[in-house]
Amino acid sequence: MLALNRLVEEKDAEKILEYAREFHGHVCPYLALGIRASLIAMEELGVGRLDYSGSVDESILAMVEVNSCFTDGVQVTTGCTLGNNSLIYIDLGKTVLTLVKRSTWKGVRVYADAERLRKYYPRGTTELFNRVVKERRGTPEERKRLWELWEEIARTMLELPKDEFKIERVRVPPVEQAPIVESVRCSKCGELVMETRVVYINDEPFCLRCEGEVYRAVVGRGIVDVSPRGC
């Protein structure tokens, strides 16, 4: 990803969007909005994309408040991902990125107002989106037209002026680094599981699924409780 690091340093949003297309699967307005918000936050905070040492040390944290296309734009641009423990998902349902330095716990919060940004959408886009994506009843021609409009709007999002965002300097409470824990083998399924996620019955370890305990999962609507019978 050295090339991507360079593109972020050069603020080449168009080329970053192509990386994001491969990562996310398609181009859409909120993917591009995540890129634009990230570049603004990184510039305001004076940081670059996470490199090798930065990701290992979790030196920068990206806190997002929505699990949508926006978040994938953030992950690609900042290098803060769920897997390297530098992405924190806060289940508030807002299009927000807060980028934070671990060394000071000072950060920048960038909020995008979806209603305000609709002025950049060509007439009929929202109705077309509702038919194709929300209601899932669009024709092949309507789907094709929506993808074309999304590409057009996405490139507009990449160039949004800063005053279209709410940008705040913030200080956040310290967040612990990801702990390294041992694994334990479930007595029922035989699979290894983090020791912090086991239940002991008569001194025998069981994973939450085998024990029938409720556990947590991130699905389309946010963080939910999951039982052995499903969400």
DSSP 169-221: EEE----PPPPP--EEE-TTT--EEEGGGEEEETTEEEEHHHHT--EEEEETT
Distance of CA 97 to the CA centre of its chain: 9
Q: Which of 113, 22, 2, 117 is nearest to 72 (CA)?
A: 22
Is the pTM above the cut of 0.95? no
In whole angstroms, how far apart are CA 90 and each of 25, 64, 80, 84, 125?
23, 6, 14, 17, 29
- What mean pLDDT comes out for the span 174-200? 94
pLDDT digits (tens, 9 = 90+) for 92-104: 999 999 999 999 9
Query: In percent, how much of the chain has pLDDT > 70?
Result: 94
pLDDT digits (tens, 9 = 90+) for 115-142: 999 999 999 999 999 999 999 999 999 9
pLDDT digits (tens, 9 = 90+) for 53-112: 555 556 899 999 999 999 999 999 999 999 999 999 999 999 999 999 999 999 999 999
Looking at every residue in the chain, the average pLDDT score rounds to 93
Residue 227 has pLDDT above 90, yes or no: no
In total, the chain counts a number of residues equal to: 231
Q: Which of 223, 116, 23, 119 is nearest to 35 (CA)?
A: 23
Rg of the chain on CA atoms, in Å? 20
Residue 230 has pLDDT above 60, yes or no: no
Strand pairing class (215-219; 222-226): antiparallel
pLDDT value at residue 179? 86
pLDDT value at residue 87? 96
- Residue keyed to tokens 């999304």: 150
